[in-house]
Structure 1
């Protein structure tokens, strides 16, 4: 008999059900309360009720759980030191969208060898997030595959919908059911219109195909997620972090009936893909904050233990410890200095406001 299906499929493997993974790596009640509290603080920042800045900082992607834990150990005291000015959330990205092909992230290929042991990847990702939550360090990620949230979303305090997926109906539907605040990045062309459309779409109820907690195919019905915001990350037309660009984007948000506050991604198009220029972007944002701008709610930084990046190559054992295998990052010492600068800007803005009032 002539087959008409699965002509390009060579294998299917069982995926661990979300419920089983949650049983193996459970979320304790006190940890759940900590995550909920972090989400509430972020919501307050988005709405302008909390005048601190939200900072999403960490590796471009996690490929080594031990290095990620060490990074978290170093970030935690910095977070605590700046708690009055900044809500510091660790960037913990497990999925990587690829322009063509390449390593797709810890969940997809945890052994870095093309074996695609996704069940192990999900366990490592959830285990790391539980560790961070237990330490009191909120976590942020980008959710790419719409199946993944069932496995880890209960441990995430903030998530991103990336420039390549903000226009996707599948991701807008997924976002409408997520339980945490979401940043929508502007399109790769630099336009904010696509992200604004996504914010509006995801704030509405949706019905779509998905999986439930047991891993069964399901019809998912959502209420809509009201806690979305714009992330300016630059684009093909150049950076968009200047005071003029921020003001223009805030006006677009206001015209769409949305809160005119946004985040600036210091990497990607805004740094012209040169990790060393993230400091220039942050300096501009810090100056805007110090001058009293209400439009900026936070920043994103790509940062790791060691500066730069390295190729994955054919031998994962030979990789340098603590250095990115995707986008290049600033090192931790530089990161700490930049957060000091941003914290000072928040204090300056607070002092300026006190004088005016």
Structure 2
């Protein structure tokens, strides 16, 4: 992965605020430089259709979005992806495993914003290089046969790799954003809206209803020009439960209440549980406990539980950015290690295949 598209100096804005503008290549330029082959394009479409079939109840498999909290090192990310591809093949009759390739990270205040923003991990914020590296990396994951998922945080960045994605998350802090709802209404893949940080699902329900409708909104076209974007509406949205300030929301009582709320609002009861964040008490090693609890609910007949999400890397835990970092360890939220992840997935495969 050695190709790059450089940002071009454009102008200095109002000297009073010291703002500097650097022109990025258009998404069309980057897609031409790093194209998606016809075979991989068909693969992405097939994976999107498979996820839609799970959401619609036409495919009985469990959808699992799994991978690092964020990607900061392409080498360890590709090693992880190769491991996941092997397991994905082995469990494919009971689960559809999707590689979590998060290259943007929301920050409560300040901090490292992800590979697409700062691939050097040093505050240089070479976003042209970050977008190029992110697209290269996702394309290599596709070549391993994996579906790819990410959280779309900056709508302007979405156009640089939207053709590579089979599933998209809208985070807890952006689910309420009209701009993200408009963006989701025009995406060509299923979208999961996370519940708000308070743990309530009302905001996510509003988001799903909004994204299902067509919109006209301000945006940027593939050549980088301001444009009016007209979207068709996205019927393939669903709810992602990640807990909140009041605690977890994956237990049976919470799931039953949320199912009833979705039904009352005439929203398809399609629920994914994020085993991390508040649902695990921010303890990555508790993710298997959450996963197995939700799996048991599904095995007992709750078909509205269509999937789960795990934060997992080669090795467990997390670490701060610095001059000497451990290989394969997250630099954002703590992750489950690969050995524990593989054991969890293979055991779930065994249980899902048992006679009812």
- Which residue is 1:336 aligned to? 342
- Which residue is 2:305 aligned to? 296
TM-score, normalised by the number of residues in structure 1: 0.94
Instruction: State which of 215, 235, 238 in structure 1 corresponds to 2:244.
Output: 235
Residues matched between the structures, number: 344
- Which residue is 2:6 aligned to? none
> Is the CA contact 1:289–1:346 (under 8 Å) kept in the aligned structure 2?
no
Alpha-carbon offset, residue 347 of structure 1: 2.0
Q: Does 1:193 align with 2:199?
A: no
Aligned CA RMSD, in angstroms, stands at: 1.2
> Is the CA contact 1:282–1:342 (under 8 Å) kept in the aligned structure 2?
no
Instruction: State which of 318, 333, 339 in structure 2 corresponds to 1:327.
Output: 333
Once the two structures are superposed, what CA deviation does each residue of 1:189-229 show, in whole Å capped at 9, x if it has no partner? 00011101100001111111111111111111101111000
Dislocated runs of 4+, deviation >6 Å? none
Q: Does 1:49 align with 2:49?
A: no
Alpha-carbon offset, residue 246 of structure 1: 1.1
Instruction: State which of 260, 273, 276 in structure 1 corresponds to 2:285.
Output: 276
Moved more, 78-87 or 288-297: 288-297
Once the two structures are superposed, what CA deviation does each residue of 1:65-107 show, in whole Å capped at 9, x if it has no partner? 1111000111111000000000000000000000111100000
SS of 2:135's equivalent in the other structure is helix
TM-score, normalised by the number of residues in structure 2: 0.95
Instruction: State which of 89, 93, 108 in structure 1 corresponds to 2:117.
Output: 108
Alpha-carbon offset, residue 261 of structure 1: 2.0
Q: Does 1:167 align with 2:173?
A: no
Structure-2 change in CA distance of 1:254 and 1:105 (3 Å): same
Mapped partners of 2:220, 2:351: distance in 1:
45
Mapped partners of 2:338, 2:349: distance in 1:
16
Mapped partners of 1:41, 1:71: distance in 2:
23
Q: Does 1:135 align with 2:141?
A: no
Once the two structures are superposed, what CA deviation does each residue of 1:211-265 show, in whole Å capped at 9, x if it has no partner? 1111111111101111000001000110011111111111111111111120000
Mapped partners of 1:142, 1:9: distance in 2:
31
Structure-2 change in CA distance of 1:100 and 1:85 (3 Å): same
Once the two structures are superposed, what CA deviation does each residue of 1:21-69 show, in whole Å capped at 9, x if it has no partner? 0111000001000000000000000111111110000000000011110
- Which residue is 1:355 aligned to? none
Unmatched segments (≥5 aa) in structure 2: 1-12
Mapped partners of 2:17, 2:98: distance in 1:
41
Alpha-carbon offset, residue 7 of structure 1: 4.2
